[in-house]
């Protein structure tokens, strides 16, 4: 366990986990193999059993590892918020229990500290698909594969408020250029300001986007890094795994992720469970808690409703009812809103059809920086990432990718 008199680590890598022993133990092994004492690894376990606790204390002997158990149930946002409170680093990075990291993430945090940077958002994630990962159309084609997107190594700084506005105008469906606590690095002092204002770091049904929107208001210097610092894992039991099998949709009251928010669901978000609606609800809640009505007023509900119709046609009645109800609350021309709605629907049907055709036409061909398959765990994937970067001669050092 971490001694109270030890020096504060620069970076806390935090993993909230629940009932996924088969993934998280590999993530722990991989991260603890990093040869650097400037970080801590915090495991926050909310499983139904204490099996992981026993395994941690019997198999891992590393002062950088700190394990905590909280009895369920907790919402995702509650779990993530407590996970941050349990950490001690000057910077915080939350990853999933089936994710991994590039060991250079510690160096990136040290550089951010030295340059007084508030957050680093990696634009490029290496992706690892666990052996149990399946897709509805491509079955097990990607199972066991690490795929590294092409990257430039560029480093840039952006206007954070403008990125918040862009996210709202896009119906909160793309937050890749915001400061991200999940799969990114954020300074603790910025997170503390969120907690001081609202008593939590995350809100609503999705902690990743609500956390990004909430902390963005306190981030002055945001660095966008086009280099893989995080390995995004996808497994059969993850949200991405359900989405790949087209099972990431349903009634609000039937899904543990959204059930606690049924009675508080925003009126301008269609009332059903999906990727699109969960992200919108969580972003709205985060902005409300931060009292950022200047950003919230740019929320494009019409675009969200159109996207919901394109990707979740089974809920057409719910979506159209929500669209009509929302129109009545707006001061604009209802005919113009209807035209805009139809425009978004047609445009996104076209984009979806093009995407399907593109994927089918390129099946078996992958346009990636690097691809390696037959990898049994994220531990092996992390080793493969390090190996590839070394062979390529790529390295993060002193604020640049060499």
Tens-digit pLDDT profile for residues 5-46: 468 999 999 999 999 999 999 999 999 999 999 999 999 999
Q: Exposed, middle or buried: residue 263 (CB in 10 Å: 0-12, 13-18, 19+)?
A: exposed
Contact 71, 82 (CB under 8 A): no
Q: What span, in angstroms and rounded, lies between the C-alpha atoms of 28 and 34?
A: 11
Q: What span, in angstroms and rounded, lies between the C-alpha atoms of 60 and 243?
A: 33
What is the pairing mode between strands 145-148 and 370-372? Answer: antiparallel
Residue 136's pLDDT is 75
Per-residue confidence at 332, pLDDT binned at 50, 70, 90? Answer: confident
Residue 139's pLDDT is 80
Q: What is the mean pLDDT of residues 263-270?
A: 96
Q: What is the mean pLDDT of residues 91-116?
A: 98
Q: Name the region of 203 (left: φ>0; alpha: ψ -120 to 50; beta: rest).
A: beta
Q: What span, in angstroms and rounded, lies between the C-alpha atoms of 46 and 312?
A: 31
- Candidates 10, 15, 5; CA nearest to 66 is 15
Residue 1's pLDDT is 40
Largest separation between any pair of C-alpha atoms in the chain: 66
| pLDDT tens-place string over residues 42-87 | 999 999 999 999 999 999 999 999 999 999 999 999 999 999 999 9
Task: Decide if pLDDT at 3 tops 80.
Answer: no
Query: Could you identify the residue written with the tokens 């099946």?
Result: 363
Contact 270, 162 (CB under 8 A): no
Lowest-pLDDT range of 107-121, 237-251, 292-306, 310-324: 237-251
> Which token pair is 138?
């491509």
**CB within 8 Å of 34: residues ≥ 6 apart:** 101, 103, 106
Contact 191, 203 (CB under 8 A): no
Query: Could you identify the residue written with the tokens 């993850």?
Result: 238
Q: How many alpha carbons lie under 13 Å from residue 317 in its C-beta half-sphere?
A: 0
| pLDDT tens-place string over residues 371-382 | 999 999 999 999
**Between helices 207-216 and 188-198, what is the axis angle to 10°?**
100
Quickly count: other Cβ atoms within 10 Å of residue 298's Cβ: 13
Q: Count H helices, E strands: the chain?
A: 14, 17
> Which token pair is 6?
């030890």
> Which token pair is 208?
């990743």
Instruction: Cite the DSSP H helix spans in 312-373.
Output: 316-329, 334-361
> Which token pair is 139?
């079955």
Q: What is the pTM of this model?
A: 0.93
Lowest-pLDDT range of 34-43, 208-217, 243-252, 281-290: 243-252
Per-residue confidence at 353, pLDDT binned at 50, 70, 90? Answer: confident
CATH, domain range 11-240+369-401: 3.90.550.10
- Candidates 41, 84, 308; CA nearest to 186 is 84
Per-residue confidence at 366, pLDDT binned at 50, 70, 90? Answer: low
Instruction: Please provide the average confidence, as pLDDT, over all residues in the chain.
Output: 93
Task: Decide if pLDDT at 246 tops 90.
Answer: no
Task: Decide if pLDDT at 367 tops 80.
Answer: no
Residue 124's pLDDT is 80
Residue 4's pLDDT is 47
Domain boundaries of the chain, sorted by first residue: 11-240+369-401
Residue 46's pLDDT is 97
């Amino acid at each position: 366990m971490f001694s109270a008199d030890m020096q504060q680590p620069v970076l806390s890598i935090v993993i909230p986990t629940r009932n996924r022993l088969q993934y998280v133990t590999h993530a722990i092994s991989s991260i603890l193999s990093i040869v650097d004492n400037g970080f801590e690894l915090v495991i926050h376990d909310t499983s139904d059993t204490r099996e992981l606790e026993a395994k941690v204390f019997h198999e891992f002997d590393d002062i950088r590892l700190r394990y905590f158990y909280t009895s369920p149930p907790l919402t995702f946002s509650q779990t993530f918020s407590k996970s941050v409170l349990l950490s001690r680093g000057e910077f915080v990075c939350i990853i999933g229990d089936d994710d991994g990291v590039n060991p250079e993430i510690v160096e990136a945090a040290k550089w951010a500290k030295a340059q007084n940077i508030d957050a680093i958002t990696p634009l490029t994630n290496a992706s690892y698909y666990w052996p149990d990962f399946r897709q509805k159309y491509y079955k097990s084609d990607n199972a066991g594969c690490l795929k590294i997107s092409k990257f430039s190594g560029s480093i840039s700084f952006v206007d954070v408020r403008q990125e918040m506005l862009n996210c709202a105008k896009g119906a909160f469906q793309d937050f890749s250029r915001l400061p991200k606590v999940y799969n990114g690095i954020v300074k603790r002092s910025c997170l503390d300001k969120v907690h001081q204002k609202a008593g939590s770091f995350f809100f609503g049904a999705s902690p990743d986007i609500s956390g990004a929107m909430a902390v963005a208001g306190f981030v002055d210097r945001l660095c966008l890094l086009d280099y893989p610092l995080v390995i995004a894992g996808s497994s059969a039991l993850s949200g991405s795994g359900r989405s790949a099998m087209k099972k990431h949709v349903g009634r609000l009251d039937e899904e543990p992720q959204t059930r606690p928010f049924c009675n508080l669901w925003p009126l301008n978000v269609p009332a059903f469970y999906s990727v699109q609606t969960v992200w919108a609800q969580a972003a709205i809640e985060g902005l409300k808690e931060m009292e950022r009505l200047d950003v919230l007023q740019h929320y494009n509900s019409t675009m969200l409703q159109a996207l919901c119709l394109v990707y979740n046609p089974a809920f057409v009645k719910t979506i159209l009812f929500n669209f009509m109800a929302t129109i009545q609350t707006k001061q604009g021309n209802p005919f113009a809103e209807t035209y805009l709605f139809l425009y978004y629907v047609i445009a996104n049907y076209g984009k979806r059809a093009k995407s399907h055709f593109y994927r089918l036409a390129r099946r078996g061909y992958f346009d990636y920086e690097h691809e390696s398959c037959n990898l049994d765990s994220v531990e092996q994937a992390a080793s493969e990432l390090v190996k590839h970067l070394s062979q390529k001669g790529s390295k993060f050092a002193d604020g640049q990718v060499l």
